[in-house]
Amino acid sequence: MPDHTSRPVPKPDIYVPTQPFWQGAREGRLMLQYCRDTGRFQHHPRPVSIHNGRRNIEWREVSGNGFIYAFTVLRVPGPGIGGRLPLRIALVELDEKVRILGNVFGKEEDSPQIGRRVALAWDHLDGGIPYPAFRLVAEQEAAGATP
Amino acid sequence: MTRPEIVITGYAETKVAFRSGRSAYDIAGEVLADLLDRYGLEKADIDGLSVTLALSEASNPFFAVYMADALGLTPTWLNAGGIGGCSASGGVARACSAIRDGMCRIAVVLSADAPSTAWRSDYGAYRSEFQDPVGVQGPPAAFGLLMNRYDHQYGLDPEALGKIAITQRSHSLQNPNALDKFRKPLTMDEYLSSRMIADPLRVLDCVMFCDGGNAFLVMSETEARARGFGTYVRPAAYAEVTNYAGDQSCPDMTESGFWRIAPEVYRQSGLRPSEIAMFQPYDDFTIAVLMQMEAFGFCGRGEGSAFVRDTDLSVRGSLPLNTGGGQISAGQPGLASGGLNLAEAVRQLFGEAGERQIDAPRNALVTGIGTIPYGRNWGTSAAMILEV
């Protein structure tokens, strides 16, 4: 039986080198792959730029600010969920024009909607390992002057 | 004509079963023996084999070779189909090319899988690091996201999805090969009150992994005539695309590869959407059926809900939909899934669909879907038009 109560920490560097993502998380920074040739981000990480097929890629910090592109509430158990059902999952489009899947923190009555602004928050896997997530940004905060 | 006509002269299909306790090999053996019996062929006549990679045997990179060994076949053309639910129609298309190139004369396109008995598949790659911690391990969360986005852009009527589920269920009642559990009628109330899996995805929008298999006999029309086959169908068009929008960081999630390949199969066949006699789309989830209705031009983009509400999709209707119940109501035989929709199309075109037989079928549009990428819709889209 799969363990549905824990939140195991994945092994990095299995598919492609990903240490900068995990090191950034430890420092509270969201690091994503960036194609230096085309000036575009991509996520999940790849062995080449999906934009031009070259390997002129680096890891860059992103703001973590963006909006909800798509949203769901998962209600069925599975590995890695760690007793968090119902679980709020969003596909977030960051201001850097790249999308990332993340869980959404916030009060239960504050239902996330497509287009709603979010900001980076930090979730924790087993052993306190930080993992990127998002929090809903208050309407006035989103409408106000840029920080 | 410079291009010899290639035709499908036969098919075989097992009943769909849940936790059958059998292997993909054993199921394949049943399918092959049935195929030989039904069409009076000898094993030695078969010199081409396409094998769909199975979830239950996914740890074996030599699965297709082992399958040839298990079945005692000695193919001079062997294809391992790794595009999931596109592997059956894609296997037929590849067999057509192989026969035209003289690599074999008679090919069997075989799919058998038993994931509800043995799951030996590990997708690996980026999933453990970037999907699992978020809780997006499998299709439900991914399709919940897709449905939410579709609803935002176009509006999604749950009763339209319910009608797809109910219509297909009414068809599985007449399909003796459907999973027994699903051979009971479904009402809109039952659909609407079925459990939410990943909002707005309900359990009755989903397929269930089962065990089962199917196979198709492919050869040139000349060979078919020489061997006395009186009944066969012609793959008049085929197109597929993998990793559509895969070079974009922010693609429109509601636009699938079907938007690219639909015009291609209409161009190849010379048919218009209004001329399609039956629609046998890959149906892992009801939303995929609705989105394909738009992509294949049965209605405008975003008009899927209204089209489903206003259209009779039954076997007596204007666009008969998944006339054997589809995977949603016959059960998904693992990655033999694409062959389930294809077998139903061939059966209907052969006039062998019994009480669910549609009148005077001229053609069928069959589709396939393979795998679900990160934050998009699906990995491979395939479509085939068959004509009598």
Q: What is the pLDDT of residue A143?
A: 64
Q: Is A5 inside any structural domain?
A: no
B249 touches chain A (CB under 8 A): yes
Nearest CB to B374 within list A8, A10, A44:
A44
A138 touches chain B (CB under 8 A): no
B24 and B114 both lie in a single domain: yes
A95 and A118 both lie in a single domain: yes
Q: Which chain B residues in 347-376 lie under 8 Å from chain A, judged by CB atoms?
A: 374-375
A36 and A46 both lie in a single domain: yes
Asked if the Cβ–Cβ distance from B128 to A10 is below 8 Å, we say yes
Asked if the Cβ–Cβ distance from B141 to A41 is below 8 Å, we say no
Q: Is B331 inside any structural domain?
A: yes
Q: What is the pLDDT of residue A142?
A: 67
Can you give the residue range of the structural domain that contains B76? 6-118+210-226
Can you give the residue range of the structural domain that contains A143? 63-147
pLDDT band at residue A78 under the 50/70/90 scheme: confident
Q: Is B90 inside any structural domain?
A: yes
Q: Is B89 inside any structural domain?
A: yes
Tell me how many domains chain B contains: 2
Does pLDDT of A146 surpass 60? no
How far apart CA B27 and CA B287 sit, in angstroms, is: 30
Parallel, antiparallel, or unpaired: how do β-strands A117-124 and B212-220 relate?
unpaired
B164 and B183 both lie in a single domain: yes
B87 and B145 both lie in a single domain: no
Average pLDDT, consecutive stretches of 10 residues, N- to C-terminus, chain B (388 residues): 82 98 98 98 98 97 98 98 98 98 98 97 91 92 98 98 98 97 96 98 97 98 97 98 98 98 98 98 98 98 98 98 98 98 98 96 97 96 98
Q: Which CATH number belongs to the domain containing residue B69 in this structure?
A: 3.40.47.10
> What CA–CA distances, in Å, run from B263 to A36, B67, B259, B289, B297?
36, 36, 8, 17, 9
B184 and B87 both lie in a single domain: no
Q: Is A21 inside any structural domain?
A: yes
Does pLDDT of A68 surpass 80? yes
Domain-ending residue, one of B197, B226, B255: B226
Q: Is A6 inside any structural domain?
A: no
Measured between beta carbons, which residues in chain B are less than 8 angstroms from residue A2? Answer: none
Q: How many CA atoms lie within 13 A of B381 on its CB side?
A: 25
Tell me how many domains chain A contains: 2
pLDDT-above-70 percentage for chain A: 93
Q: Is A1 inside any structural domain?
A: no
Alpha-carbon gap: A98 to the closest alpha carbon of chain B (Å)? 5
Which phi and psi angles does B202 have, rounded to 5°?
Answer: -100, 160
Residues 6+ apart with CB under 8 A from A74: A81, A85, A86, A87, A89, B135, B136, B140, B141, B144, B197, B198
B185 touches chain A (CB under 8 A): no
Nearest CB to A74 within list B125, B140, B374:
B140
Alpha-carbon gap: B287 to the closest alpha carbon of chain A (Å)? 15
A142 touches chain B (CB under 8 A): no
A78 and A97 both lie in a single domain: yes
Amino acid (one-letter) located at A16: V
Q: Which CATH number belongs to the domain containing residue A132 in this structure?
A: 2.40.50
**How much is the ipTM here?**
0.95
Q: What is the pLDDT of residue A5?
A: 74
Q: What is the pLDDT of residue B1?
A: 40
B274 and B316 both lie in a single domain: yes
Parallel, antiparallel, or unpaired: how do β-strands A130-136 and A98-105 relate?
parallel
B150 and B175 both lie in a single domain: yes
Alpha-carbon gap: B210 to the closest alpha carbon of chain A (Å)? 19
B216 and B293 both lie in a single domain: no
Q: Is B36 inside any structural domain?
A: yes
B103 and B163 both lie in a single domain: no
B61 and B107 both lie in a single domain: yes
B251 and B222 both lie in a single domain: no
Residues 6+ apart with CB under 8 A from B26: none
A67 and A57 both lie in a single domain: no
Instruction: Put residue B385 in one of left, alpha, beta given phi > 0 → left and psi -120 to 50 → alpha.
Output: beta
Q: What is the pLDDT of residue B2?
A: 53
Q: Is B123 inside any structural domain?
A: no
Domain-ending residue, one of A62, A80, A98: A62
Average pLDDT over residues A86-92: 97
Structure letter (DSSP) for residue B17: B
